[in-house]
Amino acid sequence: MRILHISDSHLGQHLRTWRGPAGWTHERDLLNGLAASLDLAQNESVDLIVHSGDLYDRKRPEQQVIAEARALLGAAARHVPVLVIAGNHDVGTMSTLAELPGVIALDEPRALTLCGTRIAALPFERDRATWAAQAAELVPGCDVAITHQSFHGARVPGFTFRDTRDDTLGLAHMPPGDELMLCGHIHVAQRVALGSRSILHCGSTARTSAGEGPDAKVALVIDLGSTPSWHLLPLPERDFVHVRSYQDLRDVAPGALVHLAREHDAALTDAVLAAGGWFAVRRPRRSPSARDQLGLFAGDNTLHPSEKRDKTD
């Protein structure tokens, strides 16, 4: 069984941008990231595509965004079955993918068999005791689990998540066994180990904020077996960087999205433009904050495209 694992496409995320080429929008980059990741399915001869949450950026996606998602997933599902679960940003939206041949979209936890493989699907659950109960019921006896959570040991720049936080799952919340878990919610690829279990985050299909750092955008291909193995494939991406001072200009390449510090002088703006940067800021909206996205993970457990690891690593 070979799985293409992708996640956190955040279709419909609105960033106000300026100084980019005419007709370009950040929303188009997000759509292109999902399209590029889905295109890998045929090249890699996978049996199943898994999207582990936050297909949409909000719980009420616009009709145009829904139509674009349906078109891309529907085209992929003509060749390979697609399984999508809800994330924290798009809980309650999986009905938008209803009656799409070859696509299974879940807002609720469920165990199912696809391509001869038993899968425990655990969409985002805010209450970790509830998640633990769902996992205890569904995961044992399955070959792989799919979820969208944050786990003890995951890293963001300057911070490591611990299960002392109410939003973080630890070893005490895990079901018995060592089944592989494929997880969304984290926007930089990394492996988290809890006991003998590996939790793999493939990261987002495109950059959604400057806080995600410079790590490459990737898709993850998993070969299940007695000893599962996986490798990462790079995706096309656009740099998205914070510019707080003139020293940060070294990170600005032509076509990079730039988020400027709140207080900056006009000369710094001119310097960014001279380097070829485009500007972006988040449009105010009533939905989870950028911090809630938890899309900033990096550190010693970050996976890189050149790596291929097995379950015992």
The reported pLDDT for the residue numbered 247 is: 92
The reported pLDDT for the residue numbered 23 is: 78
The reported pLDDT for the residue numbered 109 is: 98
The reported pLDDT for the residue numbered 212 is: 79
The reported pLDDT for the residue numbered 302 is: 53
The reported pLDDT for the residue numbered 77 is: 97
Containing 297, the helix (H) or strand (E) segment is none
Mean pLDDT of the region 51-61: 97
For residues 294 and 186, the answer to whether their CB atoms sit within 8 Å is: yes
pTM, rounded to two decimals: 0.88
Distance CA 307, CA 60 (A): 37
User: Could you give the angle at which helices 26-43 and 63-77 cross, rounded to 10 degrees?
Assistant: 10
Q: Where are the beta strands (DSSP E) in 153-295?
A: 155-156, 159-160, 168-169, 180-184, 190-194, 197-201, 218-223, 229-234, 240-243, 257-260, 278-282
Of 7 and 242, the one with more pLDDT: 7
The reported pLDDT for the residue numbered 301 is: 54
Residue with tokens 């973080």: 168
pLDDT at 222 over 90: yes
For 297, the token pair is 């993970």
The reported pLDDT for the residue numbered 194 is: 94
pLDDT at 104 over 80: yes
The reported pLDDT for the residue numbered 216 is: 86
pLDDT at 313 over 50: no
Distance CA 171, CA 262 (A): 40
Of 269 and 78, the one with more pLDDT: 78
pLDDT at 60 over 70: yes
Q: Exposed/middle/buried for 78, CB within 10 Å: 0-12, 13-18, 19+? A: exposed
Distance CA 312, CA 196 (A): 8
Task: Compute the mean pLDDT over every residue in the chain, rounded to the nearest whole number.
Answer: 88
Distance CA 214, CA 296 (A): 10
Q: Cβ–Cβ contacts within 10 Å for residue 101, how many?
A: 8
Residue 225 binned pLDDT confidence (cut-offs 50, 70, 90): confident
Residue 282 binned pLDDT confidence (cut-offs 50, 70, 90): low
Mean pLDDT of the region 151-166: 86
Residue-wise pLDDT for 286-304, tens only, equals 443 434 434 333 334 556 5
Mean pLDDT of the region 6-18: 90
For residues 87 and 291, the answer to whether their CB atoms sit within 8 Å is: no
pLDDT at 306 over 60: no
Residue-wise pLDDT for 119-156, tens only, equals 999 999 999 999 999 999 999 999 999 999 999 998 87
For residues 108 and 125, the answer to whether their CB atoms sit within 8 Å is: no
The reported pLDDT for the residue numbered 249 is: 93
List, in order of start, the domains of the chain with CATH numbers.
2-238+294-305 (3.60.21.10), 240-282 (no CATH)
- Residue 297 Cα distances to 53, 64, 109, 155, angstroms: 16, 30, 25, 5
Residue-wise pLDDT for 73-100, tens only, equals 999 999 999 999 999 999 999 999 999 9
Of 303 and 305, the one with more pLDDT: 303
Residue with tokens 């890699």: 44
Of 129 and 236, the one with more pLDDT: 129
Report the Cα–Cα distance between both ends of the chain, in Å, rounded. Answer: 20
DSSP H helical segments within the chain, as ranges? 26-43, 63-77, 128-138, 266-274
For residues 181 and 7, the answer to whether their CB atoms sit within 8 Å is: no
Query: What does the DSSP assignment read for 220-250?
Result: EEEE-SSS-EEEEEE-----EEEE-SGGGGG
pLDDT at 51 over 90: yes
Q: Exposed/middle/buried for 59, CB within 10 Å: 0-12, 13-18, 19+? A: middle
The three-state secondary structure class of 310 is: strand
Mean pLDDT of the region 225-229: 88
